């Protein structure tokens, strides 16, 4: 807007050195620039669908009693943040190094932060486009969130999933006392990424799935060995072996009579 009075005889709007309007006459070709008012008190133009290229100085030039006057206004264009590039989901072995990148645009330049989406996470782990993790541990697996904010609008966020592979670790393997003729269960629990494959041995002999009177049930984090009708011959030492491509581990347990 440009406020004028009745002493003004000529008016014009300029962008840098280009004339946009002179009086009621449009000098620019841009259809987005329109004349809003040309009255005794106001000379105003409107720029529709503003673009970043519209940023810069605009000058209202008026002629009063053969004495020119100018008034300048600077247009600042703000742009909401937008994440233009972010790392893909990644799978890495425990102990390896991870580099995550998050690139964002906006005006003013957005602030970029990384945080670990984890119950144990405390605040931001990086206030930068780049997140470097050296010697990654299994506790550092999960989703990492990049946030880009510049106060023009709500922050934009995107997530990257980091999978940390590690060899099996048997967390629970208990011996069990069962009387002859009763149902007996031996349980072997193991955490691993990728999930562990389980095998059972009695002494040095591998137990096959479907062996008479036995059932082997393998899940992602445990294996259950069930004896439907325990006999004296079933008593003894059993070994659970958990393995994935990174390694294997085993635990022994005893099925005994009461």
Distance in angstroms (rounded) separating the CA atoms of residues 202 and 211: 13
Is the CB of residue 90 less than 8 Å from the CB of residue 101?
no
Residue ranges covered by each domain of the chain: 2-75, 80-166, 175-256
CA dist 138 and 228 (Å) reads 38
In this chain, the answer to whether the domains covering 80-166 and 175-256 adopt an identical fold is: yes
Q: CATH fold of 175-256, please?
A: Immunoglobulin-like (2.60.40)
Query: Which residues are bridge partners to 156 per DSSP?
Result: 148
Tell me which architecture the domain covering 2-75 has in CATH: Sandwich (2.60)
The CATH fold of domain 80-166? Immunoglobulin-like (2.60.40)
Q: What is the pLDDT of residue 211?
A: 77
Looking at residue 16, its pLDDT comes to 86
pLDDT at 6 (0 to 100):
85
How does pLDDT run along the chain (258 residues), one tens digit per residue? 999 998 888 999 999 889 999 999 999 999 999 999 999 999 999 999 999 999 999 999 999 887 899 999 999 999 999 999 999 999 999 999 999 999 999 999 999 999 999 877 767 788 899 999 999 999 999 999 999 999 899 999 999 999 999 999 999 999 999 999 999 999 999 999 999 999 999 988 999 877 788 999 999 899 999 999 999 999 999 999 999 999 999 999 999 987
Question: In sequence order, what are the residues at sequence separation of 6 or more whose Cβ sits closer than 8 angstroms to the Cβ of residue 249?
Answer: 167, 168, 169, 170, 190, 241, 242, 243
């Amino acid at each position: 807007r440009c406020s004028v009075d009745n002493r003004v005889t000529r008016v014009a709007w300029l962008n840098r050195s280009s004339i946009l309007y002179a009086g009621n006459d449009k000098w620019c070709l841009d259809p987005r620039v329109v004349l809003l008012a040309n009255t005794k008190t106001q000379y105003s133009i409107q720029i529709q669908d503003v673009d970043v290229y519209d940023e810069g100085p605009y000058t209202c030039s008026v002629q009063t009693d053969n004495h020119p006057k100018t008034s300048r206004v600077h247009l600042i264009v703000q742009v909401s943040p937008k994440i233009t590039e972010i790392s893909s989901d990644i799978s890495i072995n425990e102990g390896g190094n991870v580099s995550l990148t998050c690139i964002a645009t906006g005006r003013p330049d957005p602030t970029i932060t990384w945080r670990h989406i984890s119950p144990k996470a405390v605040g931001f782990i990086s206030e930068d486009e780049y997140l470097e993790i050296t010697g990654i541990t299994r506790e550092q697996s999960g989703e990492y969130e990049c946030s880009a904010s510049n106060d023009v609008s709500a922050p934009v966020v995107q997530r990257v999933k980091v999978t940390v592979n590690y060899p099996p670790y048997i967390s629970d393997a208990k011996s069990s006392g069962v009387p002859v003729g009763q149902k007996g269960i031996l349980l072997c629990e193991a955490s691993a990424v990728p999930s562990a494959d389980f095998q059972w041995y009695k002494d040095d002999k591998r137990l096959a799935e479907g062996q008479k009177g036995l059932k082997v049930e393998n899940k992602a984090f445990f294996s259950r060995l069930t004896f439907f009708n325990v006999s004296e011959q079933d008593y003894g030492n059993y070994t659970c072996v958990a393995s994935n491509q990174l390694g294997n581990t085993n635990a022994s347990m005893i099925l005994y009579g009461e």
